[in-house]
Structure 1
């Protein structure tokens, strides 16, 4: 009988573990985490999404530690993010790609101008008409824009919907902020991104190091503002080109990583 030798950890896995240990020993740390596709699997009903139990247990432990902050940063509207994260009143939340901010019990008003309100109304009309005439699509209303979902369509059908959505939005304004995500195309009347949100969180918490994990192309804005040489850690979840230093396969791998990080942070703050 031939014995199989134990698998040797890859160089990238070893480097990630070393980075997590160093991060855990920082004085003040912030974990800024995307939700869908990072902590929670994608589901057909967005408001039914919940993070994996192992991830929630690890984050609960981390939040209880001194000088340790956990924040959720998502393209979801803040109202939806509050539901799926099961956030308490003191949670740090960044919704709508950085447009909406909730630092504990203090929110940030959007204060849309009259022009922005009128553009938003017209945008909803044209995109609503597109979705109504295209089976397999869904319109998501966001605080400063709309998202056209097409996950139920095939690749070619999806491309046609994206092209039609671009054309419809262009008929309203040429100054919209456009984001092309996983099976969704979003149009907003006000620009902000996850990188902006991370910088606001860093300033608010006065973190000496930030860990950001995300799976979507819109998360690249977040990775772009990280400072790896100063202790920050960026983790891309899943496939695709990325500016992040490290990569994990899926939500289960993220949950395992968070458990390891919670253990290391508990040891360093004991």
Structure 2
């Protein structure tokens, strides 16, 4: 990504920092978690927030009207790995996890979530049985990971010897399993995710916008699920909002994410640098 940790690639990307600095109280700054604020790692439960991203996100969160995290992770997991509790600057943070099914409002320490669905546990049992059968048949299943998110099951292949081929081999059984259990199937970066709710990050973004009434809005993300939010922002531009989609271009990033973005950042460290640039622009306008 040249010599800069971030690079605007559209007119929106060139002007968004100025737009935020002009109207920080009217700004929604939302971010994904995995691959954006935290690095992509082999074990999803070890995806701790990048130290610089943690510092920079908290810095900007204290300066804008509404900071938010919109993620497919479960709420407890993102709060723990993101060190979101009791962090100066994050007192007004709004977290929409599981694509908006779970909500945590840090300002009131209020959690809103429906009961856990039984289908995800059933999917985990079925996938474990399938992998056991494959192993008995001589198929290499070493490294295939099952991540129980409560309302979703992630079937990861990044730790396997052949991640892409293994992901494709899993396609037929996970499609069938999702259909049998009435689960929504979401492809991701070397993962199939079976979700009990069909919500999108665009819908979660809309829910935050409805609460805040923002005039400027940014979404930072790195995966296919974030593209729905990117596209939603670009639709809102036609209604007079200033918007930008910021992509964390980590290793393995899918081309469609970059194609939908207005700013490209060099992974979580690049996101931190962009956030610092935003904070500096806002602070420079202060009396």
Alignment TM-score > 0.5, same fold:
yes
Indicate conservation of the 8 Å contact 2:120/2:151, yes or no.
yes
Indicate conservation of the 8 Å contact 1:120/1:189, yes or no.
yes
Does residue 1:30 correspond to 2:28, yes or no? yes
Give 2:248's match in structure 1, choosing from 213, 237, 257.
237
How far 1:15 moved relative to its partner? 5.8
Counterparts in 2 of 1:231-270, with a 5 A limit? 231-238=242-249, 239=253, 240-241=255-256, 242-270=259-287
Question: In 2, Cα distance between the equivalents of 1:263 and 1:126?
Answer: 51
Indicate conservation of the 8 Å contact 1:126/1:169, yes or no.
no
- Which residue in 2 is equivalent to 1:103? 105
Counterparts in 2 of 1:166-181, with a 5 A limit? 166-170=175-179, 172-173=180-181, 175-181=182-188
The root-mean-square deviation of aligned C-alpha atoms, in Å, is 2.6
What TM-score do you get using the length of structure 2 for normalisation?
0.80
* Cα deviations by residue, 1:141-188 (Å, 9 ceiling, x for unpaired): 122231111112212222102332223333x23x32110000110112
Distance verdict in 2 for CA 1:249–1:142, change over 3 Å = same
Question: In 2, Cα distance between the equivalents of 1:28 and 1:223?
Answer: 19
Q: How many residues align?
A: 257
Does residue 1:85 correspond to 2:85, yes or no? no
Structure 2 stretches lacking a partner, 5+ long: 136-140
What TM-score do you get using the length of structure 1 for normalisation?
0.84
Indicate conservation of the 8 Å contact 1:54/1:259, yes or no.
no
How far 1:32 moved relative to its partner? 0.5
Q: Secondary structure at the match of 1:88?
A: coil
Give 1:53's match in structure 2, choosing from 43, 51, 54.
51
